[in-house]
């Protein structure tokens, strides 16, 4: 019996020290000068723009990575082709590579002067680096693996019999996907979307490198937090951090609210 | 509708699943494909359904060449050993699937689903999910789902293989009666000689990708006296 409590104490203590205490302190520091000061700090034009930009990142990166993720998972699980193993390994690259490296790599490809294709885009009036498109690319890069990794095991588990049954009943490939495959993998997709969203909300390193950090122009919420902190505006930094934390929390809760209600099995 | 299989071969890598198989299944008959696992019987059934494409040979269903047709355009009913139930749909939605795909009016679908659920003794289970059914009930649901679209042929791949002995016996007798009622050309795969004898009008023995014998249960019963295992019986 004692060992049971010891285990719980260990697990909870570990979580409290590593996660609980720091997060609580962020909240405490955000409201050290009162709720009014915190509210003012996150409603300045710069702060509002930063949250808007973060929203844009999420709004573009999450749908695109969801669609790509489902297609890539289908290709990896259901098809046999040369390069399948390579695709499977490539998907994990964003997990392995440091976001700073990702940012630098994007500079090499899209940089205005020395970039591989950056010059061509610049000639056509499209600026990628130090501008929103580059930041979106960076966010998409780092948040790419989640949907693929969540969907692959579910696809393996459901097998192909339901899809074959649908085809003998008259459903074409697209109808089979919409009516049978997609509903069967929806919880995997949902969890992948939540993780992708959380990652896109919180990305700092890669976006930081390609953004140029122009306050009010190329500053996302995470960059805003750093900017405020560097300028000794602690209330601003912690209040914005609280907003980010709450957004992540809402994402996780949304997942739990829409969880399966019907019987599984 | 009759099925004519003409010199069909199918290989999976080094493994020959079907080796120049020809067979005719008469309109309205009930045929069993009997043999050991790996003998080619499931592959033959899947070739008829369009779930596998033969390397060579030809499959005619109801006098039409169906060899290159995808499964969704063959109008066959297929029942899988492990039911292949759509887990996220109710029993009624499962049975209605083929009709929903064909965009039939809702009243017609509802009426047909009711009728079929009665036929397979699942009336009252319409709003359950497959996970709330027993194995035998799931398989009857799968059968109703396959019959809903009025298929030209009904194909069953070891339909009772995953069920326990009592339920299997029950469903066997019931399939026999159903066939007498519905008269749809039916082919089922089994490795159980007794099952083939009890249910089928024609028994086709497949081994190592070849047809070893075609016969009726009456003849087969007499040969069963001398040998008990189907393998020696086939030769």
Do residues A61 and A140 make contact, with C-beta atoms less than 8 angstroms apart? yes
Chain A residues within an 8 Å CB radius of B132 = 263
Interface probe with B: pick from A154, A160, A168, A182, most Cβ of B within 10 Å: A168
DSSP B19: E
Interface contact B71-A180, CB threshold 8 A:
no
Tell whether B82 lies on the interface with A, counting CB pairs under 8 A: yes
Interface contact A184-B87, CB threshold 8 A:
yes
Dig out the tokens for B157 from the structure. Answer: 């791949």
What is the rounded distance in angstroms from the CA atom of residue A9 to the CA atom of residue A4? Answer: 9
Does A101 score more than 50 pLDDT?
A: yes
What is the model's pTM? 0.83
Beta strands in chain B (DSSP E): 3-12, 15-25, 30-34, 56-61, 64-65, 76-79, 153-157, 185-190, 202-207, 210-215
- The pLDDT tens digits for A35-79 are 899 999 899 999 999 999 999 999 999 999 999 999 999 999 998
Chain B residues within an 8 Å CB radius of A175 = 101
Does B167 score more than 50 pLDDT?
A: yes
Interface contact B71-A167, CB threshold 8 A:
yes
The reported pLDDT for the residue numbered B180 is: 86
Chain A residues within an 8 Å CB radius of B98 = 169-170
Closest CA to B160 of B147, B142, B146: B142
Please, which pLDDT band fits residue B170 given cuts at 50, 70 and 90? confident
Of A162, A167, A168, the CB nearest to B86: A162
Among A127-141, A226-240, B212-226, name the one with the lowest average pLDDT. Answer: B212-226
Interface contact A166-B74, CB threshold 8 A:
no
Does A223 score more than 80 pLDDT?
A: yes
Q: SS3 breakdown of chain B: % helix, strand, coil, rounded to 5? A: 40, 25, 35
Mean pLDDT across the stretch A196-221? 91
Of B72, B102, B132, the CB nearest to A263: B132
Separation in Å, CA of A252 to nearest CA in chain B: 23
Closest CA to A202 of A232, A217, A224, A218: A224
Dig out the tokens for B134 from the structure. Answer: 């027993």
The reported pLDDT for the residue numbered B234 is: 34
Q: Which residue of A has its CA nearest to B49?
A: A168
Please, which pLDDT band fits residue B181 given cuts at 50, 70 and 90? confident
What is the rounded distance in angstroms from the CA atom of residue A30 to the CA atom of residue A241? Answer: 8
Determine how β-strand B202-207 pairs with β-strand B56-61. unpaired
Does A212 score more than 60 pLDDT?
A: yes
């Amino acid at each position: 019996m004692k060992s049971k409590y010891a285990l719980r104490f260990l697990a909870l203590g570990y979580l409290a020290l590593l996660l609980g205490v720091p997060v609580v302190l962020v909240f405490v520091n955000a409201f050290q000068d009162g709720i009014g000061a915190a509210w003012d700090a996150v409603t300045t034009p710069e702060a509002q723009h930063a949250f808007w930009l973060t929203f844009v990142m999420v709004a573009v990166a999450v749908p695109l990575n969801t669609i790509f993720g489902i297609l890539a998972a289908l290709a990896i699980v259901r098809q046999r082709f040369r390069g399948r193993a390579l695709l499977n390994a490539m998907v994990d690259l964003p997990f392995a590579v440091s976001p700073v490296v990702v940012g630098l790599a994007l500079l090499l490809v899209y940089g205005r002067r020395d970039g591989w294709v950056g010059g061509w885009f610049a000639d056509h009036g499209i600026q990628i680096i130090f501008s929103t498109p580059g930041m979106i690319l960076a966010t998409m890069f780092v948040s790419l693996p989640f949907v693929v990794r969540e969907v692959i095991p579910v696809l393996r588990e459901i097998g192909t019999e339901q899809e074959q049954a649908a085809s003998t009943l008259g459903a074409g490939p697209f109808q089979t996907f919409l009516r049978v495959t997609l509903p069967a993998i929806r919880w995997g997709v949902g969890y992948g979307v939540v993780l992708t969203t959380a990652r896109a909300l919180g990305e700092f390193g890669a976006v930081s490198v390609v953004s140029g950090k122009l306050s009010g122009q190329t500053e996302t919420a995470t960059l805003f937090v750093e900017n405020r902190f560097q300028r000794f505006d602690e209330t601003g930094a912690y209040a914005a951090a609280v907003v980010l934390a709450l957004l992540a929390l809402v994402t996780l809760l949304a997942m739990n609210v829409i969880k399966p209600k019907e019987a599984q099995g | 509708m009759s099925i004519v299989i003409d010199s069909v071969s199918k290989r999976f890598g080094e493994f020959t699943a079907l080796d120049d198989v020809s067979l005719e299944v008469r309109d309205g008959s009930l045929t069993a494909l009997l043999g050991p696992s790996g003998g080619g019987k499931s592959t033959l059934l899947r070739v008829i359904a369009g779930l596998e494409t033969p390397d060579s040979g030809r499959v005619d269903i109801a006098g039409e060449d169906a060899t290159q047709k995808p499964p969704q355009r063959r109008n066959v009913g297929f029942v899988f050993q492990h039911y292949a139930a759509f887990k996220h749909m109710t029993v009624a939605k499962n049975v209605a699937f083929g009709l929903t795909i064909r965009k039939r009016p809702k009243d017609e679908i509802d009426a047909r689903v009711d009728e079929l659920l009665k036929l397979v003794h699942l009336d009252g289970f319409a709003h359950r999910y497959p996970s709330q059914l027993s194995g035998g009930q799931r398989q009857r649901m799968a059968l109703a789902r396959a019959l809903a679209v009025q298929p030209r042929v009904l194909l069953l791949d070891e339909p009772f293989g995953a069920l326990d002995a009592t339920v299997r016996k029950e469903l066997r007798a019931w399939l026999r009666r159903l066939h007498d009622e519905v008269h749809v050309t039916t082919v089922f795969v089994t490795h159980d000689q007794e099952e083939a004898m009890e249910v089928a009008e024609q028994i086709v023995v497949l081994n190592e990708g070849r047809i070893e014998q075609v016969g009726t249960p009456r003849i087969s019963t007499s040969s069963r006296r001398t040998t008990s295992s189907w393998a020696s019986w086939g030769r």
